[in-house]
Amino acid sequence: MATPSRKTATPGPLASKRPLPRDPSSEVPSKRRSSASPAPPPPRPLQSSGPFVEGSIVRIAMENFLTYDICEVSPGPHLNMIIGANGTGKSSIVCAICLGLAGKPAFMGRADKVGFFVKRGCSKGMVEIELFKISGNLVITREIDVAKNQSFWFINKKSTTQKIVEEQVAALNIQVGNLCQFLPQDKVGEFAKLSKIELLEATEKSIGPPEMHRYHCELKNFREKEKQLETSCKEKTEYLEKMIQRNERYKQDVERFYERKRHLDLIEMLEAKRPWVEYENVRQEYEEVKLARDRVKEEVRKLKEGQIPMTHRIEEIEKQRHNLEARIKEKATDIKETSQKCKQKQDVVERKDKHIEELQQALAVKQNEEHDRQRRISNTRKMIEDLQNELKNTENCENLQPQIDAITSDLRQIQDEKALCEGEIIDMRREKETLEKEKKNVEEHIVRFDNLMNQKEDKLRQRYRDTYDAVLWLRNNRDKFKQRVCEPIMLTINMKDNKNAKYVENHISSNDLRAFVFESQEDMEVFLKEVRDNKKLRVNAVMAPEHSCADKAPSVSLNELKQYGFFSYLRELFDAPNPVMSYLCYQYHIHEVPVGTERTRERIERVIQETQLKQFYTAEEKYVVKTSFYSNKHITVNTSLKVAQFLTVTVDLEQRRHLEEQLKEINRKLQAVESGLIALREKNKHLEHRDNELRQKKKELLERKTKKRQLEQKISSKLGSLKLMEQDTCNLEEEERKASTKIKEINVQKAKLVTELTNLIKICTSLHIQKVNLILQNTTVISEKNKLESDYMAASSQLRLTEQHFIELDENRQRLLQKCKELMKRARQVCNLGAEQTVPQEYQTQVPTIPNGHNSSPPMAFQDLPNTLDEIDALLTEERSRASCFTGLNPTVVEEYTKREEEIEQLTEELKIKKVELDKYRESISQVKERWLNPLKELVEKINEKFSNFFSSMQCAGEVDLHTENEEDYDKYGIRIRVKFRSSTQLHELTPHHQSGGERSVSTMLYLMALQELNRCPFRVVDEINQGMDPINERRVFEMVVNTACKENTSQYFFITPKQILYGIASSVNYPTVYQTPWPISQTSLLHTFQPTGLSQCLTIEAA
């Protein structure tokens, strides 16, 4: 905001007219200059007609705080109004009061760190608050260090801690965190958002006696403990009843326990007798197994004696078999050798047969060659005769040479034309290659431009995916629209210099940057129906003006603005389609917004005063100049420019259009070259065809010319070949005689070999017969051996089975013997008898002998019980079933029953103590409730009376009541405000949503005024609460504020507003005005002091 950084406030006509020292190097009061230029003493508090309340603010001093260099304000004891245009520093005084009285920075809603409240560019700041006290004023100083974000506290110029400051402030009943006492500008809307419970707590703290809020907290704590005691008593009572009921049930269980014990004793006796019965049964089984084992042992001995002769016979047969197998192997070897000799003889015979066959084939070949020679001689003679006849008929060819010369001349001419045509084809091919290279380069340049465009589309896709999807849909469905549809503005805008993108992005809203631009309303409706309704995409669309504004001239020529450092209007910084440019000129006046440099920033005051520009840009800031509705003064707002995000990618559309035109020209030239190549190829093809025809004709003439000579040469060649064939003769009869002689010699050798082969075959046959006889003998021996081995195996199997049976019986005997010992041992253990201890005579029935030599002695007590295992098991099962019917019982049931009886007595005593304690808490609650609730109801009734009177004076209705859903829930008590601004409606509770902003402001203000006369706090601050009020309500509320705040014995009141609502209050009121200009600055501080009917002071700060 282009407002001067120094403001000075003077409290009234009695204040000194001296200027405060302006020393840029001074940062806090404790570090001002020494005696060379001493700082003047602080001014005395303003003397008011009414007395100050204990804790009222007498003086506020600020140094390097927000917009102030040095400022000191001395408010009066009653109503203090601070009036000034927006941005002149009214709320800075409110911030100073809050922070100077140990308030939290976050409560102001501006910043969460105290260092942000120091003036920009300064390292330290100071706030000093002087509070009225009868015993002596209290001066609280807060020095703020920006670098460390720390505060240093002083009370009456002595260093102290924040905690001590908070205690001193609280002792004066100052609560800067209570919206009922301190309502800063940024918290006005939050007052209506206070819940009924929060409003009651704030009201108690603000106007109630100090003990009221304490009683309320005690009630909530007592009620919480009462709930805990009620819950504890209820749980203990329920638990006690359950314990009594359970013990009643356990009484029957105890009786059942003793009955079950009788069954268990009988089971114990049966289980004690059972081992003795088991022992006797096992002992008898042992005797039987021992006799069976001895019988099997004798049988094994007899089987072993019967196997000895059979073993000797098997050994003899095995020796005989080995001899026969050795002789069989010898015969096999002889047969193999004889067979090998037979095979060798047979191979020699086969070779002789093959030799005879070769001789016969050689003779057949010579016979075929002789027949073929005779046939070729006959064919050659016939061919010579035909050539001689053709030679006689051949004409004279001397007259063909002129025709051949003419054809040769035509061929030479055609060759020249072909060479010329091929040269032109080569030139055109080179030209085509050159054009194709140029086309490729141009296309690569266009692709690079498209890649830059794709970068913009990628940014759109990453940030606004729905808009990107809509762009893809538009590109595929442009045929659905009657007129031109432009893609989102961020895609169609092309910056001439991407350094200037930040101006355009800061000027055009992000919603419009991603908006589609339409020339037709019908097209826009079709687009939105398809994209928004059907595809559920969140997109923006705008209409271009019916009459284009793209070429609209600016109201001020750029040449006139260049003296201030402006170099261009926004419209000239980029290119865009005509509908987009027209919309931006119409909506954002880009043709009227100039862009400047740092030079513009240096001359900013001249620009604002001389150019009448509404908006303009410097190198790094945007300026908006407005005129105050109240004072017709210029208000300038400057903001830093954000970094460009979407328009930094620059595509030179003019160069791209030039490249597209160049590409079209290259394609046209390529088509022309291609057409020329096709024509030349056709011409070359025609010349080639004509050349082939002439060559064929010349060839035919040459062949006719050379035919006679060729015929003579052929006849001579054929006669030579015939002579050679006649000389190459062969004597077939001689060759046949030689072949027959050789075949006879081979057949004689072959007969001799066949005789030798026959003798060898006979020998081999005899050896085979001998081998077969030996194999038969060996088979008989093996058969006999197998029969003996089978008998032996059967006997061995019987022996093994018998031996296995013997082993099993012996193992069973050992097992039974061991089991007898174990059963005896267990039986004695069951009867508690030692290994050597004898059973008393009165328990003995018999004394059997056991295998280990010990005596068994079942007790006499067992004789009444069954003597068999089945009977014992049956009786055991019956008794166990009866005992199992008594489920859920155990040996400790009686002990638990007794223990539970004791616990019931103890629990009954504890319950009595808890009930006594609960009665005491209820009595305390009743006493505290009476001390808290009755005064609270009286207080709320007073607030309601004043609140209703205020609303009635405005022809409206309002009431305040104490609201709770349950009288015993003290943490749910709250103050409910209900208002009615129209006679046709009912009273409605004040909420952030039901009433309008002005109605909430009026209700809030009247509630605070209702608290004013009841208030025990020393001062109240209300900042710009009248912003949403209409003029009538604003005037009525202000009159009530004046009448209420200016009564005797009321607390101090600070009312901050930007509106000039003072004028015209009453004609009899005196309005003395003091104009003060402490030092030459570009702003005049107008300081008005009004004192109508107790109105202490009004500080007006206006921007020139």
Q: Which two tokens stand for residue 431?
A: 């030209």
With both helix axes pointing from N to C terminus, report the angle between 210-306 and 732-830 in degrees, rounded to the nearest 10.
Answer: 110
Lookup result for tokens 């004409």: 395
Query: How confident is the chain (1104 residues) per 10-residue block, as mean pLDDT?
Result: 36 34 34 34 37 84 88 84 76 85 76 82 90 88 87 90 85 73 62 70 70 76 77 81 78 74 78 78 84 85 80 83 86 85 83 82 80 81 79 62 81 85 87 85 74 75 89 90 90 85 90 92 92 91 90 88 90 90 92 91 87 88 84 82 80 68 86 88 86 83 71 78 74 78 83 84 86 86 83 83 85 84 79 66 40 42 73 82 73 76 83 80 75 79 78 81 76 82 78 74 72 69 65 68 67 73 40 34 34 42 37
CB 310 within 8 A of CB 788: yes
Q: Is the pTM of this model over 0.85?
A: no
DSSP 225-279: HHHHHHHHHHHHHHHHHHHHHHHHHHHHHHHHHHHHHHHHHHHHHHHHHHHHHHH
* Strand partners for 155: 140, 158
SS3 129: strand
**Distance in Å from the first CA to the final CA of the chain:** 14
What are 351-391's pLDDT values in tens digits? 888 888 888 888 788 778 778 878 888 888 888 887 777 77
What does the chain come to in residues? 1104
Could you count the other beta carbons within 10 Å of the beta carbon of residue 178? 17
Give the Cα separation of 592 and 503 in Å (integer): 14
Within 8 A by CB and 6+ apart from 228, the residues are none
Q: What does the pLDDT read at residue 1012?
A: 62
Within 8 A by CB and 6+ apart from 609, the residues are 634
Report the alpha-carbon angle 841-842-848, nearest 5.
50
Could you count the other beta carbons within 10 Å of the beta carbon of residue 873? 13
Give the Cα separation of 1040 and 1046 in Å (integer): 10
Give the Cα separation of 148 and 879 in Å (integer): 91
Backbone angles phi, psi at 577, to 5 degrees: -60, 155
